[in-house]
Amino acid sequence: MAEWKDIGSKAKNLTLAGLGKARDLGESAKLNLDNVSEEENKKRVYLEIAKRFVEENPTAPVGYEDLYDQLAAVEARIQANKERLGQLKD
């Protein structure tokens, strides 16, 4: 009879350990999702900082010339695409 008690006790311990692991995995998944969300928030904030910086500094400060050139090239491509879209609509 003691053997059955031991088996029951071991089964209970295994079940509790499994539940603890499942809880830990659930918490890990939630924390990972929270971090993904926070990373997106950080990107949004960086984007806003960059927009304000460029608005307040229309001429490239020393060391930012290459980035300003890249931005101008991207804006030129966007404008060309918009013009082509306008032509296609006509």
Instruction: Retrieve residue 26's tokens.
Output: 């659930």
Calpha distance 44→50 (Å, rounded): 10
CA 90 to chain centre: 40
Residues of the chain with pLDDT under 70: 1-2, 4-5
Instruction: Retrieve residue 15's tokens.
Output: 């079940």
Read off the pLDDT of residues 56-81 as tens digits, 9 standing for 90 and up.
Answer: 999 999 999 999 999 999 999 999 99
Which amino acid is present at 70?
Q
Question: Rounded to two decimals, what is the model's pTM?
Answer: 0.62
Task: Give me the pLDDT at residue 38, please.
Answer: 97
Radius of gyration for the alpha carbons in the chain, expressed in angstroms and rounded: 29
